Amino acid sequence: MKIRTKIIGMGLMLVLITAFTIVGISIDQVHVLDTAIDEEMESFIHNETRKVAESVYLMCRSVQQLQDESLKRNLDVATKLLDKQGGLSFSPERVRWSAENQFDKSVKAIELPKVLVGARWLGQNADITRESPIVDQVQKTLGVTCTLFQRMNESGDMLRVATNVLNDDGTRAIGTYIPQRNPDGSLNPVIGALMSGKPYVGSSFVVNDWYVTRYEPIMDNTGKHLVGALYVGYRQESLESLRSGILDLVVGKTGYVYILGSKGSQRGKMLISPLTRYDGKSAILNEDRQIQIVAHRLLQKASQLSRRPHSNDEIPVIFEQYPWRHRAEEPYRAKLVAVTYFEPWDWVIVAGAYRDDYADIQNRFVDSLSRTVLSISAAALGIVLLSLVIGFYVSRGIVRPLERAIALFERIGKGRLDRHLNMTQGDEIGQLARAFDRMIDNLKDVTASRNELNREIIERTRAESELRATSAQRQELESIVNQSPAVAFLWRLRDKWAAEFVSDNIRQFGYEPTDFTSGKVDFLSIVHPDDVEKALSAAISAIKRGRDEQLSLEFRLIKYNGDIAWVDVRLWLGRDQGDAVTHFQGVMLDVSDRKKAQEQVRQLAFYDALTGLPNRTLLANRLDQSLAQAQRDGRMLALLYLDLDRFKEINDTYGHAAGDMVLQAAAQRLNSCIRRNDTVARLGGDEFVVLLPGLENVDQPTTVAEKILKVMKVPFQVESQQLNVTPSIGMVLYPEHGQELGVLLKRADIAMYAAKSRGRNGYACFSEEMEKDSQVVGTSLRAHPLKPLECIARPELAASRKPQKKDR
């Protein structure tokens, strides 16, 4: 068989096998991919709607958390304002009310004691133009609605006796009340929380609309009986930024997000919807039967979510699908929605996408696959035909040159061959081999010389190109480095460490690059003396640790003008193959501004802005550490709880500026009475705590207390006035009077009140008899005043606390 026939036959056979295999695999993969695309598109739509629903849920939770914090602060301000004006009390004289149920508007007559703020009756003021105490002051100060409630009966119904929430006619909604039971018979959550002695936070119905609210119970003097409540809040409709954010969301091309109410009067109501004809209207009462069915299904899904247990970090989402159309003349479109329930506001969040929004994507995939199969099939057919043509011409191109080359190679190689291929075939290849045998020896030397010359030319050309590129890159890199705030440098070890390169922006510290590269200035000489040892130790340690070591340092650097700057230095160590360090390279950045900011943050976090003394946070930390140290070494510790007598009279008579000057002077005098390791802290107002750790005997706290009384006897000079201010001091010892932080603080407070009861301007050490007569429940450095520290540590001790009024 001739070689031409062999070449054409073999080539055609290989091409046919390859073409049929490729076409078969392509068709099979098209079916696999088509199924996978359907599954992925379904998963994609589910994930898309889920992510949008979760995002809206997180938006609501973020806004709700901010609202809760804001309302808590607002309620604290209202409570302090109420306390400042004398607190809430009741007159023996009774007054008649026509109490109106805020839900069903039914009215019943009732007589209740007059509610007094201080000694002033609140009255029955429904006129919005005439000021009501407390509530109007809160609204003017904080911009929120405020209400004072009086408990009507044993059921806990709450009557509005002073409010700036308005009726539909524009009058104050006094005389309206919150009933214990909702219209559907369920317990009103606001009344339920207040009757339990707990605040209520969340969405609630107020007179004629839904509000974001916070209610705080008001207890009687025993702290056990609910007598009223204090409320702050604002309409849900005021959440315009959140509403706009929800309305701006688009799912797919035409999908959107809407919000349904779930319970009570807003059940089924479209609270937020981009479809204006549905916004604010009830979906379950809509004339369209399809809308009613969908609304009921979504509310049922939300009810399932509210009962499903889940962690705080989990956002439960459930899916529903239904046909939907916006207008009667439009065809129905398949819609998939992700539903989640935001319980604090009773919002059912629905994020929906239309399936046909994604049909174009899926169709493009399918069309692309079909075109791919057709292209592959056409290419396979073309390859088969082309292979026939190419095989014919290739075989002819091989055979004819072979015949001509045989005669040529025989003429070139006659008589000059000493190596042979020794091939015995009788075809053209065998003849070609024998011709090559005769030719190789003569061409061997010429070919070798030529190849060597070509390699040398290529190597030289490449070396010159790399050298030019390296030079250009270095110039560009130096330009970038010099324009950045970070100083770049390189030290290389020759006979000694020498600066080989320092970037031009070293001038920000007052030095020139040549100061270092010339050896005029040694780098260690500009490192602050107190940081030299630290920098050298870190560098030596990095050298010893081994290869690929990066070193990060922060230390002080002396500028040329003598100023001090903090710098952040990052070093990389260069080593040779023997692991010996050959050079340092790195960057240095001025971080002085960052250091100053960190120190300012620390000062604000741990020190009182007025007196410069440690605040509650820092005192709590030091007290924890001192107790732990006292437990380890068995030594004593003392706490002195100090209160300035009749300090309120100074503020009322001379003003708060004079009071602040007295507090600052008192802080200085207290600091003069203690050791370096003792602590004087300001808790707030005119209250101070002195911490005396590491005591050797029980007389030391008494000595300190006597020093304090002595220095405080000297009148305080405030402008042209001399003011006499005396302290009352309560003392406790660890471990004699307690071994827990909360117990010590509580008993120190009790002892301080005992000193006040003995005539002020003195001190008293705690005894058990004091505790029997005291009404002080707990004192905390960290918790809300109504939650004593010991009650946080031991829940079984928790009890209602009525704050003590201090005679300042």
pLDDT tens track for 632-655: 998 999 999 999 999 999 999 999
- 128 with 104, same domain? yes
Domain closes at, from 313, 328, 363: 363
- 491 with 635, same domain? no
pLDDT-derived band of residue 794, with 50, 70 and 90 as boundaries? very low
Looking at per-residue pLDDT, the higher value among 494 and 709 belongs to: 709
Q: In what side-by-side order are the strands of the sheet with 687-695?
A: 679-684, 687-695, 636-644, 727-734, 762-765
- 588 with 611, same domain? no
The answer to whether 570 touches 587, Cβ cutoff 8 Å, is yes
Residue 414 has pLDDT above 80, yes or no: no
- 589 with 628, same domain? no
pLDDT-derived band of residue 31, with 50, 70 and 90 as boundaries? confident
Kind of pairing, strands 270-272 and 256-261? Answer: antiparallel
Residue 533 lies in a domain: yes
DSSP characters over 193-246:
HHHTT--EEEEEEETTEEEEEEEEEEE-TTSSSEEEEEEEEEEGGG-HHHHHHH
* Cα 600 off chain centre by: 22
In terms of average pLDDT, the best of 116-130, 349-363, 369-383 is 116-130
735: left (phi over 0), alpha (psi -120 to 50) or beta: alpha
Residue 490 lies in a domain: yes
What is the number of structural domains in the chain? 3
Residue 435 lies in a domain: no
Residue 117 lies in a domain: yes
- 702 with 728, same domain? yes
* Cα 40 off chain centre by: 32
Residue 476 lies in a domain: no
Residue 802: the pLDDT is 34
> ∠ at Cα 764 (759, 768), nearest 5°?
115
pLDDT-derived band of residue 446, with 50, 70 and 90 as boundaries? low
d(CA 27, CA 33): 10
Domain closes at, from 347, 363, 379: 363
- 508 with 630, same domain? no
Mean local confidence (pLDDT), 583-601: 84
Domain closes at, from 537, 562, 596: 596
Neighbouring residues of 48: CB distance < 8 A, sequence distance ≥ 6 = 251, 252, 353
Residue 406 neighbours by CB distance under 10 Å: 16
Q: Residue 333 forms beta bridges with which residues? A: 324
CA 701, 702, 703, 707 dihedral sign is positive
In terms of average pLDDT, the best of 309-323, 465-479, 488-502, 760-774 is 760-774
Mean local confidence (pLDDT), 100-113: 93
Distances (CA, A) of 592 to 85, 482, 513, 551, 600: 49, 20, 21, 20, 13
pLDDT-derived band of residue 121, with 50, 70 and 90 as boundaries? very high
The answer to whether 26 touches 372, Cβ cutoff 8 Å, is yes
Residue 102 lies in a domain: yes
Residue 548 has pLDDT above 70, yes or no: no
Residue 657: the pLDDT is 93
75-89, 172-186, 327-341, 388-402: the lowest-pLDDT one:
388-402
CA 38, 40, 43, 48 dihedral sign is negative
Residue 803: the pLDDT is 36
Looking at per-residue pLDDT, the higher value among 386 and 699 belongs to: 699
Mean local confidence (pLDDT), 768-795: 53
603-634 pLDDT tens trace: 778 899 899 999 988 999 999 999 999 999 98
Domain of residue 648 covers 607-797
Residue 25 has pLDDT above 90, yes or no: no
- 661 with 777, same domain? yes
In terms of average pLDDT, the best of 315-329, 387-401, 702-716 is 702-716
- 182 with 266, same domain? yes
- 53 with 134, same domain? yes
682-692 pLDDT tens trace: 998 999 999 99
- 641 with 583, same domain? no
d(CA 658, CA 654): 6
148-171 pLDDT tens trace: 999 999 999 999 999 999 999 999
Residue 506 lies in a domain: yes
Residue 558: the pLDDT is 92
- 185 with 295, same domain? yes
Residue 771 has pLDDT above 80, yes or no: yes
Mean pLDDT taken over the chain: 82
Residue 475 lies in a domain: no
CATH number, domain containing residue 349: 3.30.450.20
Residue 598: the pLDDT is 80
- 259 with 215, same domain? yes
CATH number, domain containing residue 759: 3.30.70.270
d(CA 114, CA 97): 11
d(CA 68, CA 215): 11
d(CA 19, CA 152): 92
